[in-house]
Chains A and B, each alone.
Chain A
Amino acid sequence: MEAEVAKFRKEAQVSLLTMLILGLITLILAPLTGHYRGFYLCLSLGLIIVIASGVYLPIVRVKKVQNVKELAVPTMQSLWVSTSMGVGYVVTSLATYFKIVLPIAAVLFIIGWVMLLLGLYKLISISKRVGVPLAV
């Protein structure tokens, strides 16, 4: 059981860390969007991702658990938020209102898709493997 928990803990950390890094990249891109509207968009979506991943990452890292399910729940809660914000980037990055310069908008659009697909894949895979409902 301990080995299983350790293995899952590592996998969960990698997932959350990936989301955290992607969120940080969007924050770094914020000043490069070319317009204050794009800047604030990246700031709001990016900060939510960074907070949701940043808060849960230490929890997943140090939480003492009896079984994998107890680790899966916080991991999935964090992944849901990041995945949902990924939808945010997919939808808004190319919207004319935000006036984001095309290369940056394209990067944000791609990051959004990566977060969405990665998040969904991880959520479904964890849910199936651990037996925790998707809507945790």
Chain B
Amino acid sequence: MASEKEVKDVYGDYSTLTVPPAELKSTLNLFMVYMGVLAVIAAIFAGSGLATMYDVGTMLTVAFVGNVVLGVFGALTAYPGGVTRANTYMLLRYPLGRVGAMIGGLIIAGISCGLLWFAVETWLFGLTTSLIFPDYWIMSIAAASIWGGLLMMTTAYIGYKGIGVLSYVTVPFWYVLCVIGLFSALDHTGISFTAMWALGPEKKAPFGVGITYVVGLYAAGCVITSDVSRYGVKRWSGSLAWAIHVILFMTILLFIGGVMTLATGSPNVIVAMASIGLGAGALLLAILGQWTTNDNNLWSGSLSFVNVFPVFKRRTWVLILGVIGTIIAGVWAGLYGMSLDPFITFGVLLGCFVPPVGGVLVADFYIFRRYVLGIRDPAQRYKFGPGTKYGVINVPGLIGLIVGGIVGWLTTLPQYSYGIPALNAIFVSAILYLLLIVPMHKAGVKYEVGTWMERETGF
């Protein structure tokens, strides 16, 4: 078996290889990249959603509790990446099998992030800029979607380094601008800081509804934390960076979005900011926010596609996915004004299958391999490199993923509504996986179908 150091990174950004020690980054670097992903106007809009359910105090509590759930789950999924230096789609080769990992990778990142959400976020960017500056053709939905999509493609094309640099220059100011926006909204409407706590709808939603809402916002993001955490200089770098950024800063963003909505009465807080004279700031909030998030969507999508279709390098996949997404946003929706609802509906459906991927991964890494196979050292639980053999399909993993996803989807429907759909999917997939794989392993029944040997390129 050749050592990892001798293997050439054919596809770029270690799409199919583990990250070598020379490329590892500080915990701060990982934190800034995660913060860049979080810095998106959709996060502020999400706060607007909470504002329709609760008063400010309850909203803050709900956001915090929901984000603690996300912080813990994301930290758990980030750790295997930090230990093995492998991205999400490589990690999934164990709990889902080599082909199962391809399917899982395409669901969670390839199609969801790289295509659908990239297109939707690009369109949202075009929509927001057109609302801020309605009189300029360059800011029309179609034009802004196209130049916005191209901007987002540049850093995704450069890769992790490009994403990191953009996050460093954007993140500190972006969050300061959010705080400025909050106080501007209060000041402009004449609401004092004390009076702010009394804002809220007449009828409050149950506590659990809000937590469900918050967890659902970012459950998918939790599953692909290893794409970034694998660069961490310490095993725990990614887990720590993830937990802090979600628990602290996502709570703050939701809070800011919620308060701004309650104060201004406008669900589109960016437009509200522009209307009170923060024009360039509002525009920059939109541009930089979408850019730092959507380049990550595209980047993760390209990593996933390389792990399924290695005919192109990662950068070529960025261009292919980026151009398709930009055309959907700029031409389909922007120019012809056609609805993105079919894409959003499909994205939401696929999104139901994202949390169970994380559920199966966590169950396999932390329970099956640790306590059933008895592998104490986390670094020994998953091995990668040319010559490594994987099952083609891990049957319990794939069953857990499908059943968990269906349960997650069913519980989003009003007639079957129960608990938090994303968490239902995670728990069902994890428990089902263990219920199947443990007895099969103990009884000596083969739970993996076929054998796939890793090639020199890592594919």
- Give chain A's interface residues, CB within 8 Å of chain B: 37, 40-41, 44-45, 48, 73, 77, 80-81, 83-85, 87-88, 91-92, 94-98, 120, 133-136
28 contacts between A and B (CB under 8 A): A37-B187, A44-B176, A44-B180, A48-B176, A77-B28, A80-B169, A84-B169, A84-B172, A87-B173, A87-B284, A88-B176, A88-B177, A91-B177, A91-B284, A92-B280, A95-B278, A95-B279, A97-B188, A97-B278, A133-B29, A133-B161, A134-B161, A134-B164, A135-B25, A135-B33, A135-B168, A136-B26, A136-B168
Give the nearest-CB partner of B273 in chain A: A97
- In the complex, are the beta carbons of B176 and A80 less than 8 A apart? no
Q: A44 to B187, alpha carbons, bound, how many Å? A: 16
Within 8 A of A (CB), among B260-295: 276-281, 284
CB distance from A89 to the nearest CB of B (A): 10
B221 nearest CB across to chain A (Å): 20
Given known pairs A85-B176, A92-B278, the reply for A97 and B165 (CB within 8 Å) is no
CB <8 Å contact, B169 and A136:
no
Report A-chain residues with C-beta under 8 Å of the C-beta of B161. Answer: 133-135
Q: Which of B152-205 contact A (CB under 8 A)?
A: 161, 164-165, 167-173, 176-177, 179-180, 183-184, 187-188
Can you name 11 extra interface pairs (CB under 8 A) apart from A84-B170, A92-B180, A136-B28? Answer: A84-B173, A87-B173, A91-B280, A92-B281, A95-B280, A95-B281, A97-B277, A120-B169, A133-B25, A133-B161, A134-B168
Q: Please state if B29 and A136 are interface contacts (CB–CB under 8 Å).
A: yes
A47 to chain B, nearest CB (A): 11
B132 to chain A, nearest CB (A): 13
Bound-state CA distance A134–B28 (Å) is: 12
Given contacts A97-B276, A97-B277, A135-B29, contact A83 B176 (CB under 8 A): no
Interface secondary structure of B, over-half rule = helix
In whole Å, how far is B179's beta carbon from the nearest beta carbon of chain A? 7
B83 an interface residue at 8 Å Cβ cutoff?
no
Q: Does B32 contact A (CB under 8 A)?
A: yes
Chain B contacts for A48, CB-based, 8 A = 172, 176
Inter-chain CA distance A45–B170, complex, in Å, is 14
CB contacts (< 8 Å) of B280 on chain A: these are 91-92, 94-95
Instruction: Give the residues in chain B near A73, CB-CB below 8 Å.
Output: 26
- State which of A44, A87, A94, A135 has its C-beta within 8 Å of the C-beta of B179: A44
The answer for the CA separation of A106 and B28 in the assembled complex, in Å, is: 34
Closest Cβ of chain A to B248, distance in Å, is 17
A80 to B173, CA, bound (A): 10
Docked Cα-Cα span, A48 to B167, in Å, equals 18
- Chain B count of residues within 8 A CB distance of the other chain: 31
Q: Which residues of B contact A77 (CB under 8 A)?
A: 28
Q: Which residue of A lies closest to B170 (CB)?
A: A84
- CA distance in complex: A95, B278 (Å): 6
Q: Nearest chain A CB to B44's CB is how many angstroms away?
A: 17
Instruction: Find B184's partner among A94, A97, A134, A135 (CB 8 Å cutoff).
Output: A97
**C-alpha spacing A81/B280, complex, angstroms:** 20
Whole-angstrom distance between the alpha carbons of A73 and B281 in the complex? Answer: 30
Evaluate contact between A135 and B32: CB separation under 8 angstroms: yes
Chain B residues whose C-beta falls within 8 Å of the C-beta of A40 in the assembled complex: 183
Q: Which residues of A contact B284 (CB under 8 A)?
A: 87, 91
For A94, give the chain B residue with the smallest CB separation.
B280
Q: Which residues of A contact B171 (CB under 8 A)?
A: 84
Tell me the bound Cα distance from A96 to B275 in angstroms: 10
Query: What residues of A have a CB within 8 angstroms of the CB of B28 in the complex?
Result: 77, 136
Contacts of B188 in A (CB 8 A): 97
- Bound CA–CA A41/B172 (angstroms): 15
State the CA gap A93–B188 with chains docked (Å).
Answer: 18
Q: Which residues of A contact B281 (CB under 8 A)?
A: 91-92, 95
Residues of B within 8 A of A87 (CB): 169, 173, 284
With A84-B170, A88-B176 given, is the CB distance from A96 to B277 under 8 Å?
yes
With both beta carbons as reference points, the residue of chain B lying nearest to A127 in the complex is identified as B165
In the bound complex, what is the Cα–Cα distance between A69 and B64 (angstroms)?
Answer: 38
The CA of A88 and the CA of B172, in the complex, are separated in Å by: 9
Complex: A70 Cα to B350 Cα, angstroms = 45
Most buried by B among A45, A48, A84, A85: A84
A135-B165 contact, Cβ under 8 Å, with A37-B187, A91-B284, A92-B278: yes
Q: Tell which of B29, B164, B176, B277 has the most Cβ of chain A within 10 Å.
A: B176
Query: Which residue on chain B has the smallest CB distance to residue A37?
Result: B187
Of listed A83, A84, A88, A135, residue having the most chain B CB within 10 A: A135
B112-134 contacts to A, CB under 8 A, are: none
Interface centre among B26, B165, B279 (most CB of A within 10 A): B165
Residues of chain B within 8 A of A92, CB atoms compared: 177, 180, 278, 280-281
Rounded to whole angstroms, the CA-CA distance of A94 and B169 in the bound complex is: 21
User: Closest residue to A134 on the B side, CB-wise?
Assistant: B165
Closest to A41 in B: B180
Task: Report the separation of the CA atoms of residues A83 and B171 in the bound assembly, to the nearest whole angstrom.
Answer: 11
A135→B26 CA distance, assembly (Å): 9
CB-defined contacts of B164 to chain A, threshold 8 Å: 133-135
Option from B29, B173, B183, B279 in Cβ contact (under 8 Å) with A85: B173
Output the least CB separation between B284 and chain A (Å). 5
- CB-based closest 10 A-B pairs: A135-B164, A97-B277, A96-B277, A84-B172, A84-B173, A88-B173, A80-B168, A134-B165, A87-B173, A91-B280
